[in-house]
Structure 1
Amino acid sequence: MLKTKLHTKNYNELGGHYQLALPFNFNVLIPEDDSVRLLSHILEGLNYEALYKAYSSTGRKPVVEPKILFKVLTYAYMNNIYSSRKIEVACKRDTNFMWLLAGCKAPDHSTIARFRKDYLKEAIEDLFFQMVKHLHELGEVEFKNLFVDGTKIEASANRYTFVWKKVVNKNEAKMFLKIQSCLEEINLTYLKDFNVTKETLLKDLKTAISYLEEKCQQEQIEFVHGIGKRKSKLQKFIESLKEFYTRQEKYNAHHQFFEGRNSYSKTDPDATFMHMKDDHMRNAQLKPAYNVQIGVESEYVTGVGIFQDRNDIATLIPFLNMLESKLQAHYENVTADSGYESEENYLYLEGKHQTCYIKPQTYEQWKKKSFKKDISKRENMAYNAEIDEYTCHNGKQLKPVGITHRTSATGYQSEITVYECEDCSDCPCKSRCTKAKGNRRMQVSKTFVAKRQISYRNITTKEGILLRVNRSIQVEGAFGVLKNDYNFNRFLTRGKNSVKTEFMLLCFGYNVNKLHSKIQNERIGKPLHPLKTA
């Protein structure tokens, strides 16, 4: 008969004597080809000096050795376990986690979360690139063909805590007019000459407030509050200026968070509001997110970058610079999609002696018959390089009439040549060519056109087609696995540094899984997928 006394916390007291079935050595329970063995072998060969430096030399000894805790965390990310509480449970119940702990006490969730947030962020980048170099030593990564792509991953921030730069600027401008009006009234009342400028607004407000408070003490005016109390004019002035001062401090704080962006989230100031491909309301609503860039070679993630830009154009150069400095290696070929096309990026790759395989943004349009029949397009006009003139559909000449300059968001300045048709007055094709009332004008960046043509020739060669196919398979495939198979669609931590730590851990686990898969399927030493033959 079952005992009914179940209120005791120690369930051993309920009775029952069972033979110990598990072996004392967990090693015999883990298959020889299990990925946890490969993970432990790779991580044992890394240098953890940067990780141990993050710990205080005078503090108490960690419950779990940092190297072992890093193994546990990496293995958790390999198996789609991201929550610190779930990792704690796995350490107590999963044989593989117990084997990695090597007899250490299972860490609790707060220890895991603190390790990931405070200690690992100082060393994760160093450890990640050590592993990439290890893959290079194994011959898996050649530092030859780099495939670059980006995706947007939702931040761990409330969706409706947005702050918009446009709104802040608008409200700040309105308040400035109110401040000027208030000071004019103060000057008329007390015969003073207070004025404000946008550059010294807080200082000017403080000067006016100090004068009014001194005036208040001289006249011994007491501030009153509440219903039925009438405020003096002086009290109203002081309260208005103090409110303006507080609001301006708030606006200044907003501007510091923007840092070249148009928005940020109050709960995660590093996150920017972006359009996501799939959102919770299915109506293209903006979400706080990060632009995650990765570089892939031979199906391994060799570089990770976290950016706040909503598009990819401005991310390529800093990403490649970071990659080169960390790996101390120079890639020969860089393959990316049309989102990275810009004159600045073309010139950067040319200066680094890297062959670019960037698909032009108009590549798909060029294939259409409608584009080829569009007489307004520059590509459909004959160009004479010797005299620098275009010939339109009606046989008229478009000659250069001036040069202008265009500055990008990164500060890069490109030279734009302006062409104007000699006479469009009686042209029967004018309605199909331009909407301008006068002669047709056209702006052309000669440098950009020339570099785009080079990239177009590169991607249409046999090697270019092979690399473009592999870009789709490898880098887009990596994001597909990370976001769908690993079910990683939202960060758990907040802040750019914490987010980078989290995603690098994910890529660390992804690389170990990829190496394990290649070894088991005998695909080692095959960096590119071959083209399918008909």
Structure 2
Amino acid sequence: MRLTKLHTKNYTELSGGYQLVIPFNLEMVIPEDDSVRLLSHILEGLNFSKLYQTYSSTGRKPAVEPKILFKVITYAYMNNIYSSRKIETACKRDINFMWLLEGNPAPDHSTIARFRKQYLDNAAEELFYQVIEHLHQVGEISYENLFIDGTKIEANANRYTFVWKKVVTKNEEKMFLRINSLIKDMNDAYETDFTVTKKNILDDLKAVLEYLETKRQNEQITFVHGPGKRKSKLQKFIEQLQDFFNRQQKYITHKKYLEGRNSYSKTDTDATFMRMKDDHMQNSQLKPAYNVQIGVESEYVTTLGIFQDRSDTNTLIPLLNDMETKINTRYENIIADAGYESEENYIYLEEKGYTYYIKPQTYEQSKKRSFKNNISKRENMAYDSELDQYTCHNNKKLTPVGTTYRKSVTGYRSEITIYECEKCSDCPYKTNCTKSVSNRKMYVSKTFIEKRQESYKNISSERGILLRMNRSIQAFGVLKTDYQFNRFLTRGKASVKNEFILLCLGYNINKLHAKIQNKRVGKHLHELITA
């Protein structure tokens, strides 16, 4: 094929003499009220010393100044640009990005990805909380009402790389029986007395393999491989035990990653398989994901956490503890939904001096007629606090007959009082009340009921209604829906947290910009509109 001028790599040769006129100063092009100016102003006032400490004092200079690169990436997250390649393209084509670069050459995608993954580990969170402190100083955050919620965001891991705790435990147990059977055959064959225990399984297998290897060398037995070759009994023992040894090492690695959870992904070992409601039918799909928790005040994200728990219950305490160490202060009110209700959380919030507004798990159900007509529910039984007894639908008394204790995953110990009905044998309502053959028993945590009632009182108050209304219009749905952030790009809990910090930082600056433009600065709560 004959090459023509059209096939040249240099497209400037194709132009017809068109001259692009651009002002020498980009300040003239960018509007005065553009959010990029606000971003640059806020980040310029931060202390970047911790970020610069991650760079070596020797060696070549970074391609782009770290502070400038942080501005660029944060502005990208403000505008729903998350891919390092798309950020690189924006730096070459978008005037706002060029303005932030201050004349520096556009960073390539590898520089951006390396900066996000390696250099932000120790600095991103500190810079985020510096912005939170700035918002507090300008009166946008008062540390009064903290609205907490969580969501699941898909991890950057393959969907079918799951490892299940039950499967690992089951296969390990089956293999242990096979090992003992093989050791018994070996002891019978060589008149030895080796044993393998679960506690020291690797050491025991290693000792057996060393004995067999010494025996092979002494007897000068040559191992054979391939079709048509007959393996000796010694070779079979060694190969099978070596296979068991290797598999046991894998099981130990699996159990290390599975500590405190029931699954993980092979391609991102920090990710847990969770139910994700992805499609419009809200059908749950099992995918590797992280449980992302955020605390919001005045529509700003003021604290965040990345967790491997599938439920929200056990994330509240570590989230608040981490927040207190970062901002060195404490909120007055904690507002959360029913997913955070537990006796442990109630006790923690009370001991810390928080006023809690947590919706009870039975709050919505208790409004239904079916719940009110269910005679088996404790809530529908009369309770005498002086005699400490319940009265059932048939006017029979349920009195305390014992006490038991329940231990949560986190180690919290709850006291449970056991109530038993005096006589259920001839009760005409028994089939609607209990499935037990004997008398009806009811397990009740008095502490939990007391704290739940207090929380119910709080959310039912005028203040509680106002806070619950405001909770429904905070930032929780915006980050996934409006910002279209549905999947992390990095792997590992630390890198994922850095990525989410950038998203929340960009969101906060966008929110401040919107409040300034709409003249809503200083307003912390939306007023409750009544008919």
Alignment of 1:254-333 (within 5 A): 254-278=254-278, 283-333=283-333
Residue 13 of structure 1 and its aligned partner are, at CA, apart by 4.2
**3-state SS in 2 of match to 1:486:** coil
- The amino acid that maps onto 2:370 is S
**C-alpha distance 5-281 of structure 1, shift in aligned 2 (>3 A):** farther
| d(CA) in 1 for partners of 2:254, 2:355 | 41
**C-alpha distance 286-391 of structure 1, shift in aligned 2 (>3 A):** same
Give me the identity figure in percent: 71
CA deviation vs aligned residue, 1:102-122 (integer Å, no higher than 9, x gap): 011110000000000000122
**Corresponding residue for 1:485?**
482
Are the equivalent residues in 2 in contact too, given 1:149–1:337 (CA < 8 A)? yes
- The amino acid that maps onto 1:496 is K
**Corresponding residue for 2:77?**
77
**3-state SS in 2 of match to 1:41:** helix
Residue 63 of structure 1 and its aligned partner are, at CA, apart by 1.1
**Corresponding residue for 1:9?**
9
TM-score w.r.t. the length of structure 2 is 0.98
**Are residue 348 (structure 1) and residue 348 (structure 2) matched?**
yes
**Corresponding residue for 1:470?**
470
CA deviation vs aligned residue, 1:275-298 (integer Å, no higher than 9, x gap): 011159975330000000000000
Are the equivalent residues in 2 in contact too, given 1:398–1:420 (CA < 8 A)? yes
Are the equivalent residues in 2 in contact too, given 1:375–1:393 (CA < 8 A)? yes
| d(CA) in 2 for partners of 1:152, 1:384 | 43
**Corresponding residue for 1:528?**
525
CA deviation vs aligned residue, 1:377-401 (integer Å, no higher than 9, x gap): 1111111111211111111111101
Identify which range, 368-377 or 202-211, moves more after superposition: 368-377
Are the equivalent residues in 1 in contact too, given 2:418–2:442 (CA < 8 A)? yes
CA deviation vs aligned residue, 1:180-219 (integer Å, no higher than 9, x gap): 0000001111111100111100000000000011111111
**Corresponding residue for 2:170?**
170
Alignment of 1:431-442 (within 5 A): 431-442=431-442
| d(CA) in 1 for partners of 2:428, 2:237 | 68
| d(CA) in 2 for partners of 1:421, 1:326 | 51
CA deviation vs aligned residue, 1:96-138 (integer Å, no higher than 9, x gap): 0000000111100000000000001220000000000100001
Computed over aligned residues only, the root mean square deviation of the Cα atoms, in angstroms, reads 1.3
- The amino acid that maps onto 2:31 is P
**Are residue 496 (structure 1) and residue 488 (structure 2) matched?**
no
| d(CA) in 1 for partners of 2:86, 2:371 | 55
**3-state SS in 1 of match to 2:121:** helix
Are the equivalent residues in 2 in contact too, given 1:279–1:285 (CA < 8 A)? no
**C-alpha distance 70-245 of structure 1, shift in aligned 2 (>3 A):** same
| d(CA) in 1 for partners of 2:478, 2:119 | 28
**Corresponding residue for 1:412?**
412
Residue 18 of structure 1 and its aligned partner are, at CA, apart by 3.8
**3-state SS in 1 of match to 2:6:** coil
**3-state SS in 2 of match to 1:473:** coil
| d(CA) in 2 for partners of 1:333, 1:514 | 22
Identify which range, 363-372 or 311-320, moves more after superposition: 363-372
Aligned residues: 529
**3-state SS in 2 of match to 1:223:** coil
Alignment of 1:124-523 (within 5 A): 124-278=124-278, 283-474=283-474, 478-523=475-520
Residue 84 of structure 1 and its aligned partner are, at CA, apart by 0.5
Residue 12 of structure 1 and its aligned partner are, at CA, apart by 3.6
| d(CA) in 2 for partners of 1:293, 1:305 | 5
**C-alpha distance 405-369 of structure 1, shift in aligned 2 (>3 A):** same
- The amino acid that maps onto 1:11 is Y
Identify which range, 283-292 or 183-192, moves more after superposition: 283-292
**C-alpha distance 257-281 of structure 1, shift in aligned 2 (>3 A):** farther
- The amino acid that maps onto 2:316 is L
**Are residue 86 (structure 1) and residue 86 (structure 2) matched?**
yes
| d(CA) in 1 for partners of 2:456, 2:383 | 18
Are the equivalent residues in 2 in contact too, given 1:381–1:391 (CA < 8 A)? yes
Residue 423 of structure 1 and its aligned partner are, at CA, apart by 1.2
| d(CA) in 2 for partners of 1:320, 1:15 | 61
Are the equivalent residues in 1 in contact too, given 2:91–2:106 (CA < 8 A)? yes
| d(CA) in 2 for partners of 1:278, 1:16 | 50
| d(CA) in 2 for partners of 1:458, 1:281 | 34
Give 5+ residue unaligned stretches, structure 1. none
- The amino acid that maps onto 1:314 is N
**3-state SS in 1 of match to 2:120:** helix
Residue 350 of structure 1 and its aligned partner are, at CA, apart by 0.1
TM-score w.r.t. the length of structure 1 is 0.97
Residue 325 of structure 1 and its aligned partner are, at CA, apart by 0.7
**3-state SS in 1 of match to 2:364:** helix
